[in-house]
Amino acid sequence: MLFLVRMDVNIPHDMPTHLADDIKAREKAYAQELQHQGKWVHLYRVVGEYANYSVFDVDSNDELHTLLSGLPLFPYMRIKVTPLARHPSAIA
């Protein structure tokens, strides 16, 4: 199942830098592991925003929920999920 996911990050301005840096490092490692597993198939930055659009390929809604809620930045995110289906005119 394919999902388009927009993630907007809002880390509190008063969070200590060392804590924010630790969360970001754990986030990067987790995201890269999901990419290596083939679950997180595309990751695009939104220019000028602390946000991204991503495409996930997972087996179920529940799996996607588990992966997203496992993100270290999850408590500081607004997430919008859009289910995707193959378009009949797509050549790929």
What is the CATH code for 2-84? 3.30.70.1060
Q: What is the pLDDT of residue 92?
A: 80
In tens, the pLDDT along 34-50 reads 999 999 999 999 999 99
Read off the pTM. Answer: 0.92
Q: From CA 26, how far away is CA 17, in angstroms rounded?
A: 14
CA distance 14 to 74: 18
Contact 38, 57 (CB under 8 A): yes
pLDDT tens-digit readout, 47-70: 999 999 999 999 999 999 999 999
**% of the chain at pLDDT higher than 90:** 99
